[in-house]
């Protein structure tokens, strides 16, 4: 068995910086559509030459107000055209772009804005502007939608386009590949911000690797709902589309309105789709109710789908396989730009196995089996945090991921985050993510689950149900093999009790058996910090928010009206 992983594919050469990438693509795809979003109920296309002209206008304006190399611009906005144009304009000036989740409440937003020390900021609208506690700290505030407030340091993006001239040539072609161009907060950032510094070379090296593996081109179409303030959508998906010359179509459902997503799917007919399991779960449920929808989703031009952030339930991958749609799964972190490994869809999927290293990436394990990564994708460091940077980056640039893993014949297997592993009162070690991954795999009725038990006599699990699954499903046998397919929480509680009991009998380690579970009729959210931007459960926050519910599982086995979904597992 190998203890070090390297891709056998040599990483091809790639452009010096992102501006060179744009210049090459402009020459090849000038009249092609780079991006489109819905306006007046239809997609309005933006061609490559128009996109570059808009970037050039913003460049001219930024130069006129004294924006210089090393300056930074933060932004509070949902995905939109102006955000994309501003990102590349800032990078072309040698600056840093800092996207911040627009759904954060004012207190959290200001903590992150203050920490990043941005010179400039952009906001989508008056709602985002109202979150800023001190407008005077910024040299200039750019806004997209009309606002009522007036200030000398406020300017509309429309005014920039109407008053600034375009340059004849794209600026920034000589920017150093090691220059930091993007600063992005890690998933779950709250009380202790970690702001990752990424370079032109970080982003482009990864895209060079993906070009070899996927061979995407200007005929491909992306339907994108993933948020751009997070590395999955903001780096991996978005730059996969732009670097390959594909068309990036904004899905304005933002992953929250499945009817709108399906309508957009019909308009775009994506050839590739990137998502987290939660959305695939919702699509699978709807397809099971509607055969025409199934034909729409699995259309002839759909090449593959990509999933990350959490295990994909087995019944979902089975449905894609049955319709000859390859499912790729990847693993990585914001600090690694983000993707490090990708699965081979031709191989049988295994729980926890996330594939082999992409070209240019090296992986090894520490003595404690922590996964270490090295390659041109590894971050420059954490902004204004040399102590944390020194903890995770060795002198020879090996990055400590914080994930425990195992190198197998079929790929890298994730076992757990180091900080999730806990001991029971009898000192027996429990790896909660191993339990959670099996539950996710086996139960599509479970949107999220959280295994806890540090210092206790036994482990327990909180279950957050997917209530959409309770709706009538036309093809239950295909959707849930061996499942009784409950139609409400009462039935689900009985079903889950049986399933957890069967799972307990299948494991050898008696201390890992779940003794109790609690179903919580509650929807976790990014805004509250309970979910990360990639819709993963944030364990530290969930453990604190639901501490009372967790403790109740160690007090009494009696079920009362207020706690009607407490389950004792045999």
Say which CATH architecture domain 30-175 belongs to.
Answer: 3-Layer(aba) Sandwich (3.40)
pLDDT of residue 288: 84
What is the average pLDDT across 52-76? 97
What is the average pLDDT across 243-260? 96
What is the average pLDDT across 108-118? 95
What is the average pLDDT across 404-422? 93
Q: What would the pLDDT profile of 340-385 be if each residue is shown by its tens digit?
A: 999 999 888 887 899 999 999 999 999 999 999 999 999 999 999 9
Residue 285, CB half-sphere, CA atoms under 13 Å: how many?
23
Task: Tell me whether residue 348 is exposed, middle or buried, using C-beta atoms within 10 angstroms of its C-beta: 0 to 12, 13 to 18, 19 or more.
Answer: exposed
What is the average pLDDT across 110-114? 95
pLDDT of residue 371: 98
Is the model's pLDDT at 516 over the cut of 70?
Answer: yes
pLDDT of residue 311: 80
Most confident option among 134-138, 140-144, 164-168, 412-416: 140-144
pLDDT of residue 558: 47
Question: How does DSSP classify residue 531?
Answer: B
What fold characterizes domain 421-568? Answer: GMP Synthetase; Chain A, domain 3 (3.30.300)
At 122, phi and psi to the nearest 5? -125, 145
Predicted confidence band at 561 (pLDDT cuts at 50, 70, 90)?
very low
CA-wise closest residue to 447 among 292, 289, 306, 255: 255
Q: What would the pLDDT profile of 272-330 be if each residue is shown by its tens digit?
A: 999 998 899 889 889 988 999 999 999 999 999 999 987 888 888 889 999 999 999 99
Spatial distance between the Cα atoms of 171 and 152, rounded to a whole number of angstroms: 28
What fold characterizes domain 1-17+178-417? Answer: Rossmann fold (3.40.50)
Identical fold between 1-17+178-417 and 30-175:
yes
Tokens linked to 275: 């998502």
Query: Residue ranges of the domains in the chain?
Result: 1-17+178-417, 30-175, 421-568
pLDDT of residue 480: 55
Q: Which residue has the tokens 């540090």?
A: 454
Is the model's pLDDT at 128 over the cut of 70?
Answer: yes
Q: Which residue has the higher pLDDT, 498 or 189?
A: 498
Q: How much of the chain is helix, strand and coil, in % rounded to 5?
A: 35, 25, 40
Task: Tell me whether residue 528 is exposed, middle or buried, using C-beta atoms within 10 angstroms of its C-beta: 0 to 12, 13 to 18, 19 or more.
Answer: middle
At 96, phi and psi to the nearest 5? -120, 135
Q: Which residue has the higher pLDDT, 205 or 529?
A: 205
The answer to whether residues 172 and 93 touch, using CB atoms and an 8 Å cutoff, is: yes
Q: What would the pLDDT profile of 426-472 be if each residue is shown by its tens digit?
A: 999 999 998 998 888 888 888 999 999 999 999 999 999 988 788 75
Mean pLDDT estimate for the chain: 92
pLDDT of residue 481: 58
Percent of the chain with pLDDT over 70: 95
What is the average pLDDT across 242-248? 99
Is the model's pLDDT at 9 over the cut of 70?
Answer: yes
pLDDT of residue 26: 97
Spatial distance between the Cα atoms of 205 and 340, rounded to a whole number of angstroms: 11
């Amino acid at each position: 068995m190998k203890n070090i992983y390297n891709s056998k594919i040599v990483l091809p050469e790639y452009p010096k910086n992102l501006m060179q990438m744009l210049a090459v693509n402009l020459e090849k795809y000038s009249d092609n559509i780079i991006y489109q979003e819905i306006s007046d109920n239809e997609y309005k296309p933006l061609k490559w030459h128009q996109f570059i002209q808009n970037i050039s206008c913003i460049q001219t304006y930024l130069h006129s107000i004294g924006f210089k190399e090393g300056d930074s611009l933060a932004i509070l906005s949902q995905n939109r055209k102006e955000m994309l144009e501003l990102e590349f304009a800032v990078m072309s000036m040698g600056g840093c772009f800092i996207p911040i989740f627009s759904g954060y409440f004012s207190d959290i937003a200001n903590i992150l804005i203050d920490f990043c020390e941005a010179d400039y900021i952009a906001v989508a609208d008056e709602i985002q502007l109202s979150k800023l506690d001190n407008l005077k700290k910024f040299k200039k505030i750019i806004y997209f939608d009309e606002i009522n407030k007036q200030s000398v340091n406020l300017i509309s993006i429309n005014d920039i386009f109407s008053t600034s001239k375009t340059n004849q040539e794209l600026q920034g072609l000589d920017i150093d590949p090691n220059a930091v161009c993007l600063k992005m907060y890690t998933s779950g950032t709250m009380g202790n911000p970690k702001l990752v510094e990424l370079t032109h070379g970080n982003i482009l090296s990864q895209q060079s690797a993906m070009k070899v593996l996927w061979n995407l081109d200007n005929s491909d179409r992306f339907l994108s709902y993933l948020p751009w303030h997070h590395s999955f959508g903001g780096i991996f998906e978005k730059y996969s589309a732009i670097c390959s010359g594909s068309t990036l179509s904004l899905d304005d459902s933002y992953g929250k309105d499945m009817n709108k997503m399906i309508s957009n799917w019909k308009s775009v007919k994506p050839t590739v789709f990137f998502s987290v399991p939660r959305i695939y779960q919702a699509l699978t449920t709807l397809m099971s109710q509607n055969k025409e929808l199934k034909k729409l989703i699995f259309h002839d031009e759909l090449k593959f789908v990509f999933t990350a952030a959490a295990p994909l339930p087995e019944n979902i991958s089975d449905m894609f396989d049955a319709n000859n749609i390859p499912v790729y799964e990847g693993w990585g972190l914001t600090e690694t730009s983000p993707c490090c490994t990708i699965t081979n869809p031709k191989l049988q999927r295994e729980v926890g196995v996330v594939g082999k290293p992409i070209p240019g990436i090296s992986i090894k394990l520490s003595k404690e089996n922590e996964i270490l990564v090295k390659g041109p994708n590894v971050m420059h460091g954490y902004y204004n945090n040399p102590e944390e940077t020194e903890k995770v980056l060795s002198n020879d640039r090996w990055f400590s991921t914080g994930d425990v893993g195992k190198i197998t014949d079929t790929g890298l297997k994730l076992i757990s985050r180091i900080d999730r592993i806990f001991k029971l009162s009898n000192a027996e070690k429990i790896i909660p993510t191993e339990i959670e991954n099996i539950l996710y795999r086996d139960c599509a009725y479970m949107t999220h689950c959280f295994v806890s038990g540090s210092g206790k006599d036994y482990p327990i699990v909180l279950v957050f149900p997917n209530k959409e699954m309770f709706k009538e499903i036309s093809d239950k046998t295909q959707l849930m093999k061996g499942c009784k397919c409950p139609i409400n929480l009462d039935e689900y509680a009985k079903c889950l009790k049986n399933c957890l009991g069967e799972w307990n009998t299948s494991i050898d380690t008696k201390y890992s058996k779940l003794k109790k579970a609690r179903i919580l009729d509650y929807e976790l959210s990014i805004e509250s910090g309970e979910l990360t931007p990639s819709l993963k459960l944030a364990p530290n926050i969930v453990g604190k928010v639901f501490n009372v519910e967790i403790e109740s599982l160690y007090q009494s086995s009696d079920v009362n009206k207020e706690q009607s979904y407490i389950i004792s597992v045999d």
